[in-house]
């Protein structure tokens, strides 16, 4: 199936800033059953956009705005072809754990087996693992399927209940969160079992099927490495396997590796900055229409008065 994706991010600064540098991970990947056929990224103010590939194979676009500006808009558009996913059995059968241990013994997947900034162990994670019964007593594929369903059942999907930088314990304590939180919880549980697991950022096409995640936003799920099957995608937010409707953009240990945009700016240190994001995903023939409305996503209010910064003063964005 062919999809078009339009992803627009807008930064607005209460006080004009003198310079900004940013990188974006918005281009869908071309691997497995997915191909990115066309992609464009533009900025306003305009800039020279450069591209490179990071160590995980993600496409990164890098640009800088060297002049004074009070707002920045980043627009990405893509045409993607996604083939139907291969059928996945319910379990792997006898000897699957031994085969999995042979794969991980090479050390190749070390970073997907160990804690990362958003997927570390904690007493609350230990408590959840005991509740669910996270052990190697059943087949690894059957166990991951069970974890996918347990997280869906035990956690409420609640937009704006957490932030992009929320630690895993916030979602574990309240049993509420968004797709990013569900992915982090599942990654942490799966890695405890010695199964490589990674974070996937991307988009989900919403059709007539009921999905808990929001249609006008990015999406996140996980991929688990299993013997004979390779990397298999699981979406704990919606209790399903990743399928043709899941459009992969970037992979990493967790969200900290693959935010859609990341950068710094020079200017007044105490400012109010607002970020709005709009996403549209649809079949290729149906994604042309009126401009997308901006959806407020994050705002930060200054807690101190404005001060004149040193020339090297910078802010993350």
pLDDT tens, position by position, 46-83: 999 999 999 999 999 999 999 999 889 999 999 999 99
Q: For residues 299 and 274, what is the distance between their CA atoms, to the nearest angstrom? A: 5
pLDDT of residue 14: 81
Q: How far apart are CA 203 and CA 64, in angstroms?
A: 26
**Residue 199 CA to its chain's centroid (Å):** 7
The answer, yes or no, to whether the previous bond of 45 is cis (omega within 30 of 0) is yes
Helices (H), the chain: 96-104, 123-132, 140-154, 168-174, 179-192
Report the C-alpha gap between 184 and 12 in whole angstroms. 29
* C-alpha to C-alpha distance for 178 and 176, rounded to whole angstroms: 7
Other CB atoms within a 10 A radius of the CB of residue 91 amount to 15
Residues 279 and 124: their CA atoms lie apart, in Å, by 34
| Residues found in the chain | 317
Answer CATH for 2-82+259-316 from 3.30.1050.10, 2.70.70.10, 3.40.50.720, 2.60.40.2250: 2.60.40.2250
pLDDT single digits (tens) 268-299: 744 455 556 667 777 776 444 444 444 433 33
| Calculated CA dihedral for residues 91, 96, 99, 100, nearest 10 degrees | 70
pLDDT the model gives residue 127: 95
> Among positive and negative, which fits the CA dihedral 169, 172, 178, 179?
positive
Share of the chain above pLDDT 70, in %: 85
Domain ranges across the chain? 2-82+259-316, 96-243
Rounded to whole angstroms, the Cα distance separating 125 from 119 reads 10
- Give 272's DSSP letter: -
pTM higher than 0.85 for the full model?
Answer: yes
Distance of CA 298 to the CA centre of its chain: 16
- Whole-angstrom CA distances from 312 to 13, 102, 268, 269 are 18, 50, 11, 11
Query: Residue 215: its pLDDT value, please?
Result: 77
Considering the four listed CATH numbers 3.10.620.30, 3.30.950.10, 3.90.25.10, 3.40.470.10, the one that applies to the domain covering 96-243 is 3.10.620.30
Q: Looking at the predicted structure, is the pLDDT value of residue 154 above 90?
A: yes
Alpha-carbon distance 186 to 220, whole Å? 12
Name, in order, each residue with C-beta under 8 angstroms of 6's C-beta and a sequence gap of 6 or more: 75, 76, 77, 278, 279, 280, 287, 292
Rounded to whole angstroms, how far apart are CA atoms 101 and 53?
30
* Percentage helix, strand, coil for the chain under 3-state DSSP, each rounded to 5: 20, 40, 40
Higher pLDDT, 288 or 219: 219
pLDDT band at 166 (very low <50, low <70, confident <90, very high): confident
Packing angle between helix 96-104 and helix 140-154, nearest 10 degrees? 90
| Tens-digit pLDDT profile for residues 79-107 | 999 999 889 999 998 899 999 999 999 99
**105: which residues sit within 8 A by CB, 6+ positions away?**
none
């Amino acid at each position: 199936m062919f999809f078009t994706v339009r992803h627009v991010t807008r930064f607005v600064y209460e006080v004009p800033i003198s310079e900004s540098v940013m990188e974006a991970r918005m281009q869908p990947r071309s691997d497995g059953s997915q191909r990115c056929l066309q992609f464009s990224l533009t900025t306003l103010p305009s800039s020279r956009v450069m591209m490179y590939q990071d160590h995980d194979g993600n496409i990164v676009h890098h640009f800088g705005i060297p002049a004074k500006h009070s707002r920045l808009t980043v627009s990405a558009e893509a045409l993607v072809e996604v083939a139907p996913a291969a059928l996945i059995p319910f379990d792997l059968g006898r000897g699957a754990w031994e085969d999995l241990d042979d794969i991980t013994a090479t050390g190749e997947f070390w970073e997907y087996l160990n804690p990362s900034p958003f997927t570390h162990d904690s007493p609350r994670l230990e408590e959840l693992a005991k509740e669910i019964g996270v052990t190697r007593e059943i087949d690894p594929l059957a166990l991951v399927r069970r974890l996918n369903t347990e997280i869906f059942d035990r956690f409420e999907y609640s937009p704006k209940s957490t932030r992009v930088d929320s630690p895993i314990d916030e979602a574990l304590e309240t049993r509420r969160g968004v797709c990013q939180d569900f992915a982090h919880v599942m990654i942490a549980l799966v890695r405890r079992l010695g199964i490589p697991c990674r974070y996937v950022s991307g988009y989900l096409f919403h059709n007539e099927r009921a999905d808990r995640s929001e249609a006008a936003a990015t999406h996140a799920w996980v991929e688990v490495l299993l013997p004979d099957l390779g990397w298999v995608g699981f979406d704990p937010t919606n209790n399903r396997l990743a399928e043709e409707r899941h459009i992969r953009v970037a992979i990493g240990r967790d969200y900290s590796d693959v935010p859609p945009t990341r950068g710094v700016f020079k200017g007044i240190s105490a400012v109010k900055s607002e970020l709005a994001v709009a996403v549209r995903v649809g079949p290729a023939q149906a994604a042309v229409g009126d401009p997308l409305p901006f959806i407020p996503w994050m705002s930060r209010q200054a807690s101190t008065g404005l001060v004149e910064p040193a020339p090297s003063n910078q802010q993350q964005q």
